[in-house]
Amino acid sequence: MLKMTSTVLKNLFSKSSTRMYPFEVREPFPLYRGELFNDIDTCIFCKKCEIKCPSQCITVSKNKDNGTGIWTCDPFACVYCGVCVEVCPTKSLHMKPNHRKPSATREMINMTGKVKVPKKKEAPKKTD
Ligand code: SF4
Ligand code: SF4
């Protein structure tokens, strides 16, 4: 009992080891993998991020009729592994070193962009 009381008193008057989040936010570490962002103008809707994501939280779809693509991510299922950023061929995906704000509702990230048609390679000129 005496030992416990001394521990309680020590903890009461010593400096706290934790912060009063979200009122006091700690600066993230330099290589912190935070919020995922897609620069949709450089996304080519190749689906590589969707295929490689271990949490299956990315969905990529194309609408051939109007030439648009939709990139969707469920940040509540994301485990912040960074695999999608590594495999993205156009580097349109990046992670910002900041914490996502707490939320009581499940919010999806939905982005729409134009699907770029890859330029056809010119056939080599015939030389006779
Ligand atoms: S891997 Fe990159 S370019 Fe491909 S669909 Fe995902 S975000 Fe877009
Ligand atoms: S960081 Fe990992 S879990 Fe999150 S979307 Fe990218 S691949 Fe999926």
- H or E element that contains 4: helix 2-13
Q: Is pLDDT above 90 for 118?
A: no
For 40, the token pair is 């949709």
Ligand 1, CB within 6 Å, residue ranges: 38, 43-49, 60, 87-90, 92-93
Q: Where are the domains of the chain?
A: 30-114
Mean of pLDDT values over 79-103: 92
Distant-in-sequence, close-in-space partners of 17: CB < 8 Å, separation ≥ 6 = none
What is the distance in A from the centroid of ligand 2 to the CA of 69? 19
Question: Tell me: domain 30-114, CATH 3.90.870.10, correct?
Answer: no
If pLDDT is split at 50, 70 and 90, which confidence band does 128 have? Answer: low
Tens of pLDDT, residue by residue over 1-55, are 788 999 999 989 998 888 888 788 888 888 889 999 999 999 999 999 999 999 9
- Ligand nearest, relative to CA of residue 49: 1
Q: What is the pLDDT of residue 36?
A: 94
For 90, the token pair is 């156009």
What is the distance in A from the centroid of ligand 2 to the CA of 95? 10
Q: Which residue has the tokens 């939905």?
A: 110
* pTM (predicted TM-score): 0.78
Greatest extent of the chain over all pairs of C-alpha atoms, in Å: 101
